[in-house]
């Protein structure tokens, strides 16, 4: 059964005439049943796999990737992101919600049909926790958000600035981990994606389409991963963390040096 859909007003749930649809993953990594509890095996801590795993089907059209969708349609996809984050942020079992997109087999996509995934976990993932700790440390030292400072610097010296719209910037971060790595961030401080305003959704849809379109045209439809990093849902009014979208084309192989050095 569908969790959420945007469809023709006269159409019934779980029937055709939808244009964006959210459904439970057929092979979920986590289950909603039960309560999260920690256990230990010697010095190793574990937590049971309680959470949510959903698929956001971006379009009924099997052949149309996000980069080729109209801005108005991408806006609806972003609304679906916002609605699911809004809903899951009130779930006391959930410690973090990660929305991500795998495009192409080498980026981990197991289905050709355009889709995004959502996984809500009982804990904050390690990579996000490291980002939070780094941002918290920077804020403690400078009393400013590191992401806001990054945006201000790239706006002053636009060497890595791809685009600046009314509400968002697209940049290729300094010392990028991967070729053509791109971040999209709100120009004003926001830690939670689900606080995005309707007019900002339209703006974000446009800059996201143009960013993916540049990659499509320049790199010939590369495989990529797209991740939406947000503050943990129960972390209100966070002054040091800034939500952002990371887009990473899969153009190179991660080998021994990268695995060994980080």
Which residues carry out catalysis?
115
Rounded CA-CA distance 253/198 in Å is 39
Beta bridge partners of 38: 47
Of 69, 79, 75, give the one whose Cα is nearest residue 114.
69
Rounded CA-CA distance 146/173 in Å is 13
Of 144, 61, 66, give the one whose Cα is nearest residue 100.
66
* Residue 127 exposed, middle or buried by CB count within 10 Å (0-12, 13-18, 19+): exposed
Compute the chain's Rg from CA coordinates.
19
Structure tokens at 109: 């996509």
DSSP assignment string, 116-137? EEEEEESS--HHHHHHHHHHHH
Three-state DSSP state, 39: strand
């Amino acid at each position: 059964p569908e969790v959420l859909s945007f469809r023709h007003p006269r159409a019934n749930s779980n029937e055709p005439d939808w244009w964006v649809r959210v459904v439970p993953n057929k092979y979920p990594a986590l289950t909603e049943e039960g309560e999260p509890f920690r256990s230990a095996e010697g010095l190793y801590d574990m937590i049971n796999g309680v959470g949510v795993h959903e698929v956001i089907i971006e379009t009924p059209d099997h052949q149309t990737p996000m980069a080729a969708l109209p801005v108005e349609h991408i806006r609806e996809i972003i609304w679906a992101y916002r609605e699911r984050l809004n809903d899951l942020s009130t779930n006391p079992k959930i410690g973090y919600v990660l929305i991500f997109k795998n495009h192409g087999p080498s980026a981990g996509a197991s289905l050709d049909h355009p889709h995004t995934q959502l996984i809500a976990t009982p804990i904050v993932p390690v990579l996000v926790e490291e980002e939070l700790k780094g941002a918290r440390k920077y804020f403690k030292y400078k009393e400013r958000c590191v992401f806001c400072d990054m945006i201000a610097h790239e706006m002053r010296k636009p060497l890595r600035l791809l685009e600046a719209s009314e509400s968002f910037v697209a940049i290729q971060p300094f010392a990028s981990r991967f070729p053509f790595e791109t971040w999209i961030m709100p120009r004003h401080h926001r830690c939670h994606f689900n606080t995005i305003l309707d007019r900002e959704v339209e703006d974000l849809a446009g800059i996201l389409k143009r960013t993916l379109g540049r990659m499509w045209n320049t790199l010939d439809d590369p495989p990529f991963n797209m991740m939406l990093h947000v503050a943990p849902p129960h972390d209100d009014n966070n002054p040091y963390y800034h939500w952002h979208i990371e887009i990473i084309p899969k153009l190179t192989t991660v080998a021994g040096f990268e695995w060994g050095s980080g």
